[in-house]
Amino acid sequence: MARIDVNTTGFQPHLYLTTDTTALYDGTGSVAWVTAEDALDVVCLQDITVNNSTGIFSWVDFCSTDQNKITTPADNSISTNMVVDKDVFFGDATATAASAPFYGVNGLSSNKIYVQWVLVMNGGLDAGTVARAGAANEGIWYRGTGFLTSISPTVSPDSPVWVSPLEVAVTGDMTTGFVTS
């Protein structure tokens, strides 16, 4: 059975964010996209949901006794809950100015900054550009552009860390791909 392992060391999901929306990630390394200076690696995610919500418009008419349906544009999003890390959430003042690491998740959201995102389902990116390849089913990714929303840090007496929901409201297409061994 081919499955996507995520609960072993090195196979955890990564959500990368960058303010560079001109060079779209392609998974091959031919697009020099992610570098340590311009990408924010959001790790320590508690859960992730990829929402591909193609809309359906339904109608009835006098030509048929059944409903008719047609698709409408999709309203896609990525939803997750993250453990709040100071630099990832609030930004790193020592990072390159106006980069995703500089702003952090909270700054990207509150400043309404358009981002490119790459969700690697099972591991990180080698040398910052190519999804890790090796064993079967490694390097599976989604990518797109959009805005961060639904930031809401919370803590409770029985929780030792702050957590926050995070949603990427996808603008345009959401693409998927993988790196083969």
pLDDT at residue 110 greater than cutoff 50: yes
pLDDT at 181 over 50: no
Task: For the chain, give the DSSP string.
Answer: ------SSTT---EEEEES--SS---SSSSS----TTTEEEE--EEEEEEE--EEEEEE--TT-SS-EEEEEEE--EEEEEEE--HHHHH--TTSPTTSHHHHHHHHHHHTT--EEEEEETTS-EETTTEE--SSTT-SEEEEEEEEEE----B--TT-SS-EEEEEEEEEEEEEEEE---
- 43 pLDDT band, cuts 50/70/90, is confident
pTM of the model as a whole:
0.86
Mean pLDDT of the chain: 85
Between residues 31 and 171, which one has the greater pLDDT? 171
